[in-house]
Each structure stands twice: as structure tokens, then as C-alpha cells.
Amino acid sequence: MEILYTSLLGFFLLLVIYLFYNHKSSENANLPPGKTGFPVIGETLEFLYTGWKGHSEKFISDRIAKYSSNVFKTSLFGSLFVVFCGVNGHRFLFSNENKLVRVWFPRSIHKIFLQSTEAFSTEEAINGRKLIQNLIKPVGLQSHIGLMDTFSHWYFVTYWENKDMVLVFPLAKHYTFLLACRLLMSVEDPNLISLLEEPFGVLFKGTFSVPIDLPGTPLNRAMKAASFIQKELLVIVKQRKTDLAKGMASPTQDILSHMLSTSDDNGNFMDEADIANKIFGLLVGSHDNITSVCTSIVKYLAELPEVYQGVYQEQLGIAKSKALGELLNWEDMQKMKYSWNVACEVMRLEPPSPGSFREALTDFAYNGFSIPKGCKIYWHPQSTHSNHEYFPEPQKFDPSRFEGSGPPPYAYVPFGGGPRMCPGKEFARLEILVFMHHLVKRFRWEKLIPGEKTVYTPLANPEKGLPIRLFPHEA
């Protein structure tokens, strides 16, 4: 044990020395203005702390005010970072994906998901992304609306009705996970869902943890949870492949069957392990982000009765237009214009993710400054979402911002933009709208903790889970 601690101490000292000199050498480069803080930790603690305290935008806005509204430097997670701000910064990053920059993740995330940044720019990964985009285009998703409607009815009857009080965040989390399992893999067995859902709770606690893989650390627990999930998903994939071969499953019944039955442009099929990884990624992407949005919608509708009333009247009109037992359809989704504007304004004020990371593939210049190859880059949606130039009175809740042509391009970016626009945007829109439909036609509600904060750990969630008191509408 003493040898282990001595080795760890030696490694840590070497890391400090390396990062110290790397930190010093960067001071002389033609980098954007800003400070990098202390060696190793840089400004990481302040970056994380502002998110934990419910003010993730403060880290960005303070530095925009002090250094530059376009680009500034900092140091996070042991690396030099340049933060791109504003519409021009978003446009530059999104339009230069896999040209000048590529997706980058902190070391802890690599360890959990067992992928390297190189994988995101390979032809195989690009082909896999194209396949997923094709599977969740609006035309393909239309057939899922009825299933979402049926599922949501069951969910609210089971978990919300006949309750005086509910805790919104965990219930919304369960909702999105159950629905994702059903739509992606046709999994409905409660035992199997429970087996998969529990390790997901462990997974996200380690995503932005200290990258130390020792027994008992958040990272170590998250890595074990990820490994367990991937093994279970591989079992599901193998069984589905067998069922398809025997004619016991349909090639079009869900996204898993589509992946197993669809080849790329060269006639090649994805292997089972790759499909399991893609399903894993889709479960992550269709789970926590939508949970965050649905929870924030409940929060704002409780705080803004006039906005709630607008959503309620729109959804009630759609409900009354349906015959007994008739399910929601694509045309109904298009009628939910005010409801979607409300959801968009919620995501403007509280984007589910506090931003994303990139890495410079080569040396390039931006705004008169040098961005060296290997430099890490960060963009934050609030650099435009809270900017009065693009959104007058940015702290005011105003769904009308999204009427007509809406905000300028690259000003509103909860789903990213350009080539890196989230392929699941339409999936998310449908799921959020169906959730809103079933929620408001059943209840009005009030918050039990009026001043409850939204914190980022790492995604937006209410500090106490958002407890609310329910008041069912009279039949």
C-alpha cells in the first residue's frame, strides 16, 4: 500500500510539473485575452461551482464583460481552453466540424464510454451517425406518435393520477427512460428496465468527476455501471438478431431492428457490439436531456399562470377534437405551436446542457488570435441565449420570440447547429409535446418550494427534485 501511495504521489508531482510548464509556455502565445488560473486546476472549480449553485452562465458572462464578447481563454480540467461566444463563435465552430475542430470530451467521459475523440471523425462513425439521422427523421417518427400517446396515457394514470403531491424530476426521468426503452428496443419488461435504469443513475454522477479510477470513486462506479449496461444491451441485440432470423421480430418494429436490418452505402452492416454502443448513446441522449426540459417546463408553467393557461387552452382544443379512443397524430403535433414556443423559451432560459467541448485539429486563427492545434474549445448557449442583442429583455419569459422566423441563426442553440445539430431534435420535440399534452389536460399545480434553484450536475435539474401539489381538472 505504501508503494502505491508513493507511486501516485510521484505521478501527481510529474503531472503538476508538466502542466505548470505547459501553462507557462502558453502565456507567450498570441492567445485570446483571459487568465488560466493556477496550474493543474486552472479555473475548473469556479466553472463547476457556478453550475452547482444554479448560475452556470455567470462563469461565461463575467469573463465576457471583463475580456471579450467574442472569445477568451481559460483553463479547465487540466487543459488550456478557449471559449467561443456569440453567434459568430457558434457559426464558426458548427460549420468547421471535422475541418478545424472536432468533438472532445473530458477524460472521465472517455473512460466511462470507452471511446476516444478519434472515433468521432472516422468514416465508420460518420456512417453510423447518418444511419441514426435517417431513422429518426420526421417522416419515420410519425408512426411513433400513437405509441407515445398510448404510453403517456398509461404513465400519467399510473404515476400521477390520484396523487396529492409528486416529485417531478425523478418521475420525468423514469418517463423518458421507459419511453426510450420502448421506442428504441421494444423493451417493456419491468424487471429488465429496472436492471438497466439503476446503473444509469450511477453513470451520470461520474461523467464530470475527478478522473481518478480507484475503487469507490464516482468515476470507478460510473465505469462499472457503463460496462454493465453495455453487456446487457449486447445481450438484447444478439437476441433480436436471432428473432429477426427466425421471423419472430419485424425489421421495422423499432430502431434496434432497423439498425440490424439496414446496411450503409457500401452494403455493410454494423456489428452487434457497435449497435449496442449506438443504442447506449441513444438511451443517454434521449433520456436525461429530455428529462431536464420536461422538468423545467413544469417549473415555468407553475410560475406563470398566464402561460399555463395558453398551453392548456391549446391542448384542450386538440383533446376535444379527437374521437373517443383516437390517438394523437402528426397533424395534432403541428397544431401545438404555442406549446412548442413555450418549450423553446424554457430551453432558452434553462438549456438542458450547459455547453459542449471541441478540440482544434490544426493551428488556425480566429478573431485575430491564434488557436493552436490540440487546444480545447468550449461553447456555452447562454452566451447568446442571455444576450439582449438577440433576445431583448433576456430574463423575461416571452414565447412570442419564436413566432415567425424566430431568432437569428446560431443565436438559439439548445440542439447545437450546422453539421452537429442534434439528430434527435424532432424526436425530442414530439416527446416533449406529448408529455405537455397529457400533463396540462389533467392538472394544474403549484410548486412546494417557490425559490427552488436549477443546478447543473452536469445537466439542468432542480436542486430538490421539484415537488409540486396537484389539482386535477374536473372531468
Give pLDDT, residue 116: 37
- Annotated binding-site ranges: 422
Pair 155, 439: CB distance under 8 Å: no
Place of cell 510521484: 10
Is residue 215 reached through a cis peptide bond, with omega within 30 degrees of 0 on the bond before it? no
Taking the alpha carbons at both ends of the chain, their separation in whole angstroms is: 68
- Closest by CA to 23, choosing from 103, 81, 83, is 81
Give pLDDT, residue 282: 84
Torsion sign, CA atoms 272, 278, 283, 284: positive
Give pLDDT, residue 132: 58
Helical H segments across 321-459, by residue range: 330-335, 337-349, 382-385, 425-440
- Closest by CA to 156, choosing from 173, 171, 177, is 171
CA 150 – CA 315 distance, rounded (Å): 16
Per-residue pLDDT tens over the stretch 75-117: 887 788 999 999 999 999 999 988 999 988 877 787 787 643 3
Give pLDDT, residue 18: 44
Q: Determine which helix (DSSP H) or strand (DSSP E) holds 140, and give its type and residue range.
A: helix 138-141
Cell of 72: 477568451
Is residue 170 reached through a cis peptide bond, with omega within 30 degrees of 0 on the bond before it? no
Give pLDDT, residue 135: 57
Pair 87, 71: CB distance under 8 Å: no
Give pLDDT, residue 410: 93
Give pLDDT, residue 119: 42
CA 430 – CA 438 distance, rounded (Å): 13
> In 278-292, which positions are buried (b, 16+ CB within 10 angstroms) versus exposed (e)?
bbbebbbbbbbbbbb
pTM higher than the cut 0.75: yes
Torsion sign, CA atoms 106, 42, 86, 384: positive
Q: Determine which helix (DSSP H) or strand (DSSP E) holds 20, and give its type and residue range.
A: helix 2-26
- Annotated binding-site ranges for heme: 422
Pair 350, 460: CB distance under 8 Å: yes
Helical H segments across 286-329, by residue range: 288-303, 305-320
State the number of CA atoms in the 13 A half-sphere of 449 facing the CB. Answer: 13
Q: By CB neighbour count within 10 A (0-12 exposed, 13-18 middle, 19+ buried), where does 306 fall? A: exposed
Torsion sign, CA atoms 114, 120, 126, 131: positive
**DSSP class of 400:** G
Give pLDDT, residue 294: 96
CA 183 – CA 135 distance, rounded (Å): 12
**DSSP class of 216:** T
- Closest by CA to 407, choosing from 454, 353, 460, 347, is 347
Please give the C-alpha separations between residue 5 and each of 15, 37, 336, 467, in angstroms, as whole numbers.
15, 28, 60, 45
Q: Determine which helix (DSSP H) or strand (DSSP E) holds 268, and give its type and residue range.
A: none
Question: pLDDT by residue for the chain (475 residues), tens digit each?
Answer: 433 333 344 444 444 444 444 444 445 468 898 888 877 778 888 887 787 777 777 888 888 888 877 899 988 877 889 999 999 999 999 999 889 999 888 777 877 876 433 444 444 455 555 555 555 566 667 878 999 999 999 999 999 999 999 999 999 999 999 999 998 999 999 999 999 998 988 887 777 666 677 888 888 898 899 999 999 999 999 999 999 999 999 988 888 998 898 877 788 888 899 889 889 888 887 788 899 999 999 999 999 999 999 999 999 999 999 999 999 999 999 999 999 999 999 999 999 888 889 999 999 999 999 999 999 999 989 889 999 999 999 999 999 999 988 899 999 999 887 766 776 788 899 999 999 999 999 999 999 999 898 888 777 889 999 999 999 998 6
Give pLDDT, residue 47: 81
DSSP three-state, residue 42: strand
